Chains A and B, each alone.
Chain A
Amino acid sequence: MELLNLAVKTIFIENIVLAYFLGMCSFLALSKKVETATGLGMAVIFVLGITCPLNWGINEYLLNDGALAWTGNEQLASLDLSFLNLILFIAIIASIVQFVELVLDKYFPPLYQALGIFLPLITVNCAILGGSLFMVERDYTLPQATVFGISAGMGFFLAIVGMAAIRKKIRYSNIPPGLKGLGMTFIITGLMSIGFLCFSGIKL
């Protein structure tokens, strides 16, 4: 129940794009077509769902204050390596993305075709690194981290597909020249974000 609550909170109330502004760059650049938006959204769910638990493990057993206690070595146990988390997380994310790409290419070619060029792009998507950093900051447990990762990805999926659909609808609208493209996208995002504000306060 608590996990379900966390999922609802992460998808709707604290939507990673509309409330925390993460992953904006790809959100703006790739929301022109519904198909590409769907592909990217799926890829983000996938990668967030894998990297969050993995980075949780890294943080818990390698980096945190006293995390190396399992080695039984006192000197190691007294280390606090948490300042290394940024560089290690980004390395993990980059290698996982590469690894996922290889596995998909070998065993699930249709899915690989569908995700295509979006996988490599994800390495530099701040939603992924942001997910891991939020998870550390909020002291999640392993099940919480997994649920958080997947539902953050679903939040991103929801936002980008919705955005793509709206942009398709307004293609022939008469927009003032300076506002065309980026400016209008921002204002629509703002309105979407107001819509998502209505979810705040919902608790299961």
Chain B
Amino acid sequence: MAKLKETVLDPLSDNNPITVQVLGICSALAVTIKVETSFVMSLALTSVLICSNLIISLLRNVMPSKIRMIVEMTVIASLVILADNILKAYMYDVSRQLSVFVGLIITNCIVMGRAEAFALQNPPRLSLVDGFGNGLGYSAILIVVASLREVIGFGTWYNYQVLPLAYEGNGLVILAPGAFIIIGLIIWIQRSVIHKVEED
């Protein structure tokens, strides 16, 4: 039980997939203009991650290690196609805004990385929990970055007006440089809190 708890909580801060393991940065930056899009993206990634970890963990004893990359790719790609089509069917507007980034979950290193690093060595139940934990860690950072960018950039949060209407949006935060700098600062804060220093 203690191990399960640790597997969920560890990726939330000490071993966060984005700020500490440096995985899956691309989508973390691209979809965080609004909280709504990043929420949907987190949901999509977390479900793909949980399913792929579970399936790969179930397959871990039957698949030959030589072709394991191809098997993993196929499993992940099929799950992503599923997620992409579900989004297109039920949330067409958000899916338009996410554009190619749902498809890019395939090459998102979190999914592949967790499959290689965790699901291949651990039983299904633990892998499922690991997928969930890493999905949460990813979502947490995404939501924080998106909240900052949306509030500063548009004065809204999840499309609700939170700052007075007279607030003039800050255009730079919505553009690419804003995302880079905000994520840099979040990494700084988080690493200072958990005292992780990278030697260059």
Query: Which residues on A are within 8 Å of B, measured CB to CB?
Result: 18-25, 28-29, 32, 83-84, 86-87, 90-91, 94, 124-126, 128-130, 133-134, 137, 171, 176-187, 189-191, 193-194, 197
Residues B181 and A190 in contact, CB atoms below 8 Å apart: yes
Q: Which residue of A lies closest to B184 (CB)?
A: A186
Residues A197 and B103 in contact, CB atoms below 8 Å apart: no
User: Top 7 nearest A-B pairs by Cβ distance?
Assistant: A186-B184, A181-B198, A190-B180, A178-B192, A190-B181, A133-B100, A187-B184
Residues of B within 8 A of A134 (CB): 100
Q: How far is the CB of B18 from chain A (nearest CB, A)?
A: 10
Tell me the B89-116 residues at the A interface (CB within 8 Å).
99-100, 103-104, 106-109, 112
CA–CA, A193 and B175, complex, Å: 9
Residues B22 and A21 in contact, CB atoms below 8 Å apart: no
Residues of A within 8 A of B100 (CB): 130, 133-134, 137
Residues A86 and B77 in contact, CB atoms below 8 Å apart: yes
**B contact face: mostly helix, strand, loop, or mixed:** helix
Q: How far is the CB of B76 from chain A (nearest CB, A)?
A: 9
Residues of A within 8 A of B183 (CB): 186
Q: Which residue of A lies closest to B27 (CB)?
A: A21
Query: Which residues on B are within 8 Å of A, measured CB to CB?
Result: 19, 22-27, 29-30, 70, 73-74, 77-78, 80-81, 84-85, 99-100, 103-104, 106-109, 112, 172, 175-181, 183-185, 187-192, 196-200
Q: How far is the CB of A75 from chain B (nearest CB, A)?
A: 22
**A contact face: mostly helix, strand, loop, or mixed:** helix
Q: Which residue of B lies closest to A187 (CB)?
A: B184
CB < 8 Å neighbour of A87 from B77, B109, B175? B77
Residues A24 and B178 in contact, CB atoms below 8 Å apart: no
CA–CA, A151 and B196, complex, Å: 38
The answer to whether A94 and B22 touch (CB under 8 A), given A87-B81, A124-B112, is: no
Residues A181 and B103 in contact, CB atoms below 8 Å apart: no
CB < 8 Å neighbour of A176 from B27, B77, B188? B188
Q: Which residue of A lies closest to B189 (CB)?
A: A178
CA–CA, A29 and B26, complex, Å: 13
Q: Which residue of A lies closest to B196 (CB)?
A: A178
Residues B103 and A183 in contact, CB atoms below 8 Å apart: no
Q: Which residue of B lies closest to A134 (CB)?
A: B100
Q: What are 22 A-B pairs at a CB distance below 8 A?
A: A21-B179, A24-B25, A25-B22, A25-B109, A84-B81, A86-B103, A90-B73, A90-B107, A126-B104, A129-B106, A133-B100, A133-B103, A177-B197, A178-B187, A179-B187, A180-B198, A181-B199, A181-B200, A182-B184, A186-B181, A193-B177, A194-B172
Residues of B within 8 A of A171 (CB): 200
Residues A24 and B80 in contact, CB atoms below 8 Å apart: no
Residues A126 and B107 in contact, CB atoms below 8 Å apart: yes
CB < 8 Å neighbour of A20 from B30, B107, B177? B30
The answer to whether A194 and B177 touch (CB under 8 A), given A125-B107, A182-B187, is: yes
Report which residue of B70, B172, B178, B200 has the largest number of chain A beta carbons within 10 angstroms of its beta carbon: B200
CB < 8 Å neighbour of B180 from A22, A29, A129, A186? A186
Q: How far is the CB of B130 from chain A (nearest CB, A)?
A: 20
Q: Which residue of B lies closest to A179 (CB)?
A: B188
The answer to whether A190 and B107 touch (CB under 8 A), given A86-B80, A177-B192, is: no
